[in-house]
Amino acid sequence: MAAPPLLTLQDVALTFGGTPLIERAELTIAPGERACLVGRNGSGKSTLMRIAAGFAEPDRGERFLQPGTTVRYLAQEPDFSGFSSILDFVQAGLAPGDDAYRGRYLLESLGLTGEEEPSRLSGGEARRAALAQALAPEPDILLLDEPTNHLDLPAIEWLETELKRSRSALVLISHDRRFLTALSRATIWLDRGVTRRIEQGFGSFEAWRDAFFEEEERDKHKLDRKIVAEEDWLRYGVTARRKRNVRRLSDLHDLRRKSREHRRPVGQAVMTATEGESSGTLIAEARRVSKSYGDRRIVDDLSLRVVRGDRLGIVGPNGTGKTTLINLLTGALAPDSGEIRLGTGLNMVHLDQRRASLDPNATVAEVLTGGRGDTVDVGGRSRHVVGYLKDFLFAPEQARTPVSVLSGGERNRLLIARTLAQASNLLVLDEPTNDLDLETLDLLQEMLGDFAGTLILVSHDRDFLDRVAGNVLVSEGEGRWVEYAGGYTDMLAQRGRGVEARESKEKPRERAPRTDSPRDAAKDSKTKLGFKEQHELKTLPKRIAELEAGIAKLREVLSDSGLYGRDPERFSKATGLLEKAEIELASAEDRWLTLEMQRES
C-alpha cells in the first residue's frame, strides 16, 4: 500500500484586493515526490509555495503536515539579518542530530568559504548560501522557489546533480526548462486560481496544457451558442407552457452566470523588435585582443569575427568576464593589446540585465516616455504608452505605478519593452530570461528568431541557448575563449564536457570526511576490490537498467488519470512497487558509484 502523503493542501483560497489570486488549490506531496509547480507570472505560485511551507495563511482551506516531517523552503529573497557570516546562517538551519559538516561541504561545493559577510554578498552568492541552508539538513520536503536564479551554468548543473541524489521530496518553481525536465516526474499547473496535476514531468506538460486550452475554448464556444439559442427562444417562444417558461428562463440565467464566471487565460505579451536600417556585413572583428585587470586575464589573444545576422551566445561561469568581453566587442572598452574593428551603420541596443538603469522612483510610464507626455516612440511611430504597455501584459492602472513596487518579472518585461521600442540592428542581451515565465520566454525566442539584425547573447539558460544561438563562445579559463558552431547542446557534443566552475585562488578549508558519501567512502578505502566486489561492479549496470525499465513501465501505468477511479487496488499496488523500485535504484546507483571510485583509487 502506498505511503501516506507528507503534506497536503485542500481547497485553498486567497484573495488580494478584488480578483481572487488562488480559488481552489490542491497540493499533495508524497515521500520521494519530484514535482514542478508551473504557471504564469503573477498566478500565485510563490504564494502557494509559502502556504505549503507554513509561512502564509490562506483565507480558506486546510494544510496538513505529517507529525515529525521536516520542511525546508527556499525563498526568492533570503533573509540574512542577524548573522555575521553565511556559515552561521547555514548552520542555524540545522537541527540536533544533523550532520554539522554538511553545511560547510555544500558551501564549498558552491564556491563559498562560509566566512563571507551577508551584507556584502552578490545576488549569485546570496542564492548559493540560501541553497546550502535549505539542502544541509536533508529534510523530508524541499520547496524551492526559482533555485537557479542568479546561478551560472556550473552551479546549475551541480545543483541538478545534487537534487537527483537527494532523498527529499521535491517541489520546484523555475523558468529553466532543462532543469525542470531533468528533475520533475509530476507537474502541478496553477492557472486562474485553480491547480491541475498530471503524473508526468515537465517535458509532457506544454503539449497537455495546449490541448486543455483548445478543449476549453471549444466548450466556451458551445456554451455561447447555447446562450444565443436560449435567448432566441425567450424572444419568440411565447406559446410554451408558463411553468416550463419559468424553468427555462432560470436555466438561461445559469448559463449566463457560467459564461461571466469563465476566466480566460492571461494573454500573451506581444513582442516585436523595432529594426533599424541594415548594418554593413561586418559587425565586429577582434584581432589578437587581450585584456587584464591586474594579474587576472579576462581575454587572452582572442581573434573573432561577427558578421551581420550572427546569433552569438556567450557562456561561462560567473567571474570569467562575459560583460567585459561584450564591452570589448561593442567598442565600449579598449583592449590592452590587439585591435577591435567595428562595422559601419551599427545601431546597437543593450539590455541592462542588472536593472541599474531603472529609476525605482519613476513610474512605469515615465520609464518608457522619459517623463515627456503620454506617448512612446516605437521605431519612429508614436504610440500611447498604455496601449504599448498592454502588449507586455501591464494593466492600464500600472502605468502610474512606481518601479520600486514591481516584481522581478515585471521589471524585466519593462526593460524589454523599453529595449524593443528603440530601432536597432544589433541587440546585446545580458541574461534576458531572468524572472520571465515560460510563455513569455517562448515569445521572446520567436521575436529573436524573426529579428533580421545581429544578436549577441549572454545566458545561463541551456534550453534558451539551444533555441536562439547559432554559435557559442565558451570560456576555457585563463582568458581563453573558444567558439563552437550551434547551440549549447551542440557545444557539449563538440567539446565533450560542460562549463566548469572558475577555479578559486583561495585554498579550500579542510573538512572532516563524510563517511555517508559514496565518493568519500571510496577515497578513504585503501583495499583492492575482492572477487565478490568485482562481480558486483560488473553486474550492477544490468540491474540498474532493469530497475529503470521497470520504473518506466510503472510510471506509464500510473500516468492513466482514471486508474484510481476504475481500480484503486491496482493503483495502490503500482504506487507501492514504484516507491520500492525507486529506493532500490537509488541504492544500486550509490553502491555502483562506491565500487567504481574504489576501483579507480
For 316, residues 6+ apart whose C-beta sits below 8 A from its C-beta are: 152, 153, 322, 474, 475, 499, 502
Query: Is residue 166 a known part of a binding site?
Result: no
Q: Please report, in angstroms and rounded to a whole number, the separation of the first and last CA atoms in the chain.
A: 42
Distance, CA of 332 to CA of 169 (rounded, Å): 48
Cα within 13 Å of Cα(488), Cβ side: 20
The reply, when asked if residue 361 is annotated as ligand binding, is no
Say whether 118 counts as a known binding-site residue. Answer: no
Asked whether residue 45 is marked as a ligand-binding residue, the answer is yes
Ligand-binding site membership of 320 (annotated): yes
β-partners of residue 350 are 428
pLDDT tens profile 380-411 = 778 888 888 888 878 888 888 888 877 777 78
**Cα 165 to chain centroid, rounded:** 20
Q: Which helix (H) or strand (E) holds 12?
A: strand 7-15
- CA dist 254 and 264 (Å) reads 18
How far apart CA 364 and CA 362 sit, in angstroms, is 7
Distance CA 418, CA 223 (A): 41
Average pLDDT (226-240) is 60
In angstroms, the CA 481 to CA 489 distance is: 18
Q: Which residue has the higher pLDDT, 450 or 169?
A: 169
Check pLDDT > 80 for residue 138.
Answer: yes
Q: Starting at the edge strand that comes first in sequence, how are the strands of the sheet with 282-293 ordered? A: 296-307, 282-293, 337-342
Q: Is 112 within 8 Å of 172 (Cβ atoms)?
A: no
Query: Rounded to an integer, what distance in angstroms lies between the CA atom of residue 245 and that of residue 321?
Result: 76
β-strands 375-378, 381-384 pairing: antiparallel
pLDDT confidence bin for 120, thresholds 50/70/90: confident
Region 28-39: mean pLDDT is 94
Q: Confirm or deny that 322 is annotated as ligand binding.
A: yes
Q: Provide, rounded to the nearest whole percent, the portion of the chain with pLDDT above 70.
A: 80
496 annotated as ligand-binding: no
**What is the pLDDT, as a whole number, of residue 139?**
94
Cell 427555462 sits on residue:
248
Identify the CATH number of the domain defined by range 282-495: 3.40.50.300
Task: Give the residue with greater pLDDT, 356 vs 330.
Answer: 330
d(C-alpha 139, C-alpha 72), whole Å? 6
Q: Where are the domains of the chain?
A: 85-133, 219-261, 282-495, 518-600
Amino acid, single-letter form, for residue 429? L
- Asked if residue 40 belongs to a known ligand binding site, the reply is yes
Spatial separation of the C-alpha atoms in residues 551 and 561, rounded to whole Å: 17
More confident residue, 296 or 307: 307
Exposed e or buried b for every residue in 524-546, given b needs 16+ CB within 10 A? eeeeeeeeebeebbeebeeebee
Ligand-binding site membership of 538 (annotated): no
Is 46 annotated as contributing to ligand binding?
yes
17 pLDDT higher than 70: no
What pLDDT does residue 509 have?
38
pLDDT of residue 130: 94
Strand order in the sheet with 71-74: 60-65, 7-15, 20-29, 194-198, 186-191, 34-38, 169-173, 141-145, 71-74
318 is in an annotated binding site: yes
Q: Is the pLDDT of residue 132 over 90?
A: yes
Q: What is the pLDDT of residue 478?
A: 87
Greater confidence, 114 or 233?
Answer: 114
Q: What is the pLDDT of residues 541-597, one digit of tens each?
A: 888 888 888 887 877 777 665 666 677 678 677 777 877 777 777 777 777 767 766
Question: In this structure, how many other beta carbons lie within 10 angstroms of the beta carbon of residue 437?
Answer: 20
Q: How far is CA 45 from the centre of its chain?
A: 12
Q: How confident is the model at residue 276 (pLDDT cuts 50, 70, 90)?
A: low
Q: Reply yes or no on whether the pLDDT at 118 is more than 80.
A: yes
Whole-number pLDDT of residue 520: 45
Q: Check pLDDT > 90 for residue 131.
A: yes
Q: What is the DSSP letter of 514?
A: -
Q: Select the more confidently predicted residue: 41 or 386.
A: 386
Q: How many residues does the chain have?
A: 601
User: Highest-confidence range of 228-232, 389-393, 484-488, by mean pLDDT?
Assistant: 484-488
With cut-offs at 50, 70 and 90, classify the pLDDT of residue 235: low
* Torsion on CA atoms 237, 238, 240, 244, rounded to nearest 10: 90
The model's pLDDT over 248-273, given as tens digits with 9 standing for 90+, comes to 556 655 655 655 555 555 555 555 55
Q: Can you read off the three cell numbers belonging to residue 188? A: 502541478
Greater confidence (43 vs 33) lies with 33
Q: What is the pLDDT of residues 508-529, one digit of tens each?
A: 333 334 334 444 444 444 446 6
Query: 428 with 349: CB under 8 angstroms?
Result: yes
Q: What is the average pLDDT score of the chain?
A: 81
CB atoms closer than 10 angstroms to residue 254: 9
d(CA 422, CA 433): 19
What is the distance between the alpha carbons of residues 508 and 323, in angstroms, rounded to a whole number?
27
Ligand-binding annotation for 42, yes or no, is: yes
Tell the CATH superfamily of the 518-600 domain.
Valyl-tRNA synthetase, C-terminal domain (1.10.287.380)
Residue 59 has pLDDT above 60, yes or no: yes
Whether residue 43 is annotated as binding a ligand: the answer is yes
Q: What would the pLDDT profile of 433-473 be if each residue is shown by its tens digit?
A: 877 778 778 878 888 888 888 999 998 899 999 989 999 99
